[in-house]
Amino acid sequence: MRGEARRLLRDGRALAGAGMLTLAVLAAVLAPLLAGDPIAQGDIVATRFLPPLTTDPHGGFHLLGTDRFGRDVWARLVYGARISLGVGALATGISVVVGMAVGAAAGYWRGWLGAALLGLTDFALALPRVVLLLLLASLWQPSAGLVIVVLGLTGWMTIARLVHAEVRALAGRPFVESAAGLGARDLRILLRHILPNALTPVIVAAALGLGNAILLEAGLSFLGLGVQPPTPSWGNLIASGRDTLINAPWVATAPGVALVLVVVAATLLGDAVRDRLDPGRV
């Protein structure tokens, strides 16, 4: 496994993707060390709408400038990373668990259960995800928790399909049959013998799903239906910069660039892992 990881890092895309993601996670984790308070409003008149790389009259340096309340954009960006990355990661976690459970069950117990689960997967795939998210956000109070659950429960289908295909292919293999012959129970066979061998495509799908979940969280928060201000998330940061595009374009630009870089990083990493698994397709 370690040798595999080293080979992977020789791929420029994997290196760039892993590097950018690590930087983003570090910035999120170390936010209190890297920046001041993201919410506090000080001397608004003197510090609002300062362009990037300026020092305010009180001696505070603003790498990415300030917004209309004089809040430091860099501080809001790194604290927003905590929400955006955290929500994305947790939602992807839920998708992976649900997707693996549905895919494994459908692939292992064929017959009515498998058919029903596959039907459910196809149905869920045909739904416009954002429309469903909006519907749920309108029925319940918007919060980070709701966004995590909803994104998680609407993002498992690709993983379920991949796991289903892998499990079907693996279920007839000799090592599985011999485990069954030795008297292992179904659940043990699935968890110990089949799923570990079906993990790799799941990692690829999870990397791509992570980027997607981060984008969708930002989208919901942008519309005011996700994480609520003053808690910073990259989505509501973009929304707050929307009204000041003319006089302070940096407020909306910075979180957008961060968003693109993180999603590009997740995509590059996913691509590199996939190509390693499937060398026929470079």
Partner 1 sequence: MLSGLGVVLGVVTLMFALIRLAPGDPALLLVGPAATEEQLAAQRHALGLDRPITAQYATWLGRFARGDWGTSIATGRPVRTMLAQAWPATVRLVGLSLVLSYLIGIAVGVVQAARGGRLDTALSVASVTLFALPGYWLGLMLVMVFTYRLRLLPAFGASGLDADFLPPAARLADRLRHLALPLATLTLVGIGGTARFVRGAMLDVAGEPYVAVARSKGLSETRVTLRHVLRNALIPVVTLLGLSLPALFSGAVFIEAIFAWPGVGRVLVEAVQARDYPVVMAATAVSAVLVVLGNLLAEALVSWVDPRAR
Judged by the rule CB under 8 A, the positions of this chain that interact with partner 1 are 122-123, 125-132, 134-140, 211, 215, 218-219, 222-225, 238, 241-242, 245-246, 249, 252-253, 256, 259-260, 263-264, 267-268, 271, 280-282
Label residue 148 exposed, middle or buried (CB < 10 Å: 0-12, 13-18, 19+): buried
Least Å from the CB of residue 185 to partner 1:
34
Half-sphere exposure of 138 (CA within 13 A, CB side): 6
Least Å from the CB of residue 32 to partner 1:
27
| Ordered DSSP codes for 159-214 | HHHHHHHHHHHHHTSHHHHHHHHTT--HHHIIIIIIGGGGHHHHHHHHHHHHHHHH
**Cβ closer to partner 1: 197 or 267?**
267
Least Å from the CB of residue 113 to partner 1:
18
Which helix (H) or strand (E) segment is 54 a member of? Answer: strand 54-55
Least Å from the CB of residue 249 to partner 1:
6
Six-digit token string for 166 = 């892998």
Query: Which residue, 274, 266, 153, is CA-closest to 214?
Result: 266
Least Å from the CB of residue 123 to partner 1:
5
**Cβ closer to partner 1: 77 or 195?**
77
Six-digit token string for 24 = 């983003």
Instruction: Return the sign of the alpha-carbon dihedral for residues 202, 205, 210, 213.
Output: negative
Least Å from the CB of residue 13 to partner 1:
9
**Cβ closer to partner 1: 27 or 216?**
216
Q: Is the peptide bond before 142 cis (omega within 30 degrees of 0)?
A: no
Query: Regarding beta strands 54-55 and 61-62, do their DSSP bridges make them parallel or antiparallel, or are they unpaired?
Result: antiparallel
**Cβ closer to partner 1: 44 or 130?**
130
- Can you tell me the distance from the alpha carbon of 201 to that of 207, in angstroms, rounded to the nearest whole number? 10
Contact present, 104 and 195 (Cβ < 8 Å):
yes
**Cβ closer to partner 1: 8 or 257?**
257
Least Å from the CB of residue 179 to partner 1:
34
**Cβ closer to partner 1: 201 or 219?**
219
**Cβ closer to partner 1: 43 or 122?**
122
**Alpha carbon 199 to chain centroid distance?**
18
Least Å from the CB of residue 33 to partner 1:
28
- Can you tell me the distance from the alpha carbon of 56 to that of 47, in angstroms, rounded to the nearest whole number? 6
Which residue type sits at 154? T
**Cβ closer to partner 1: 124 or 184?**
124
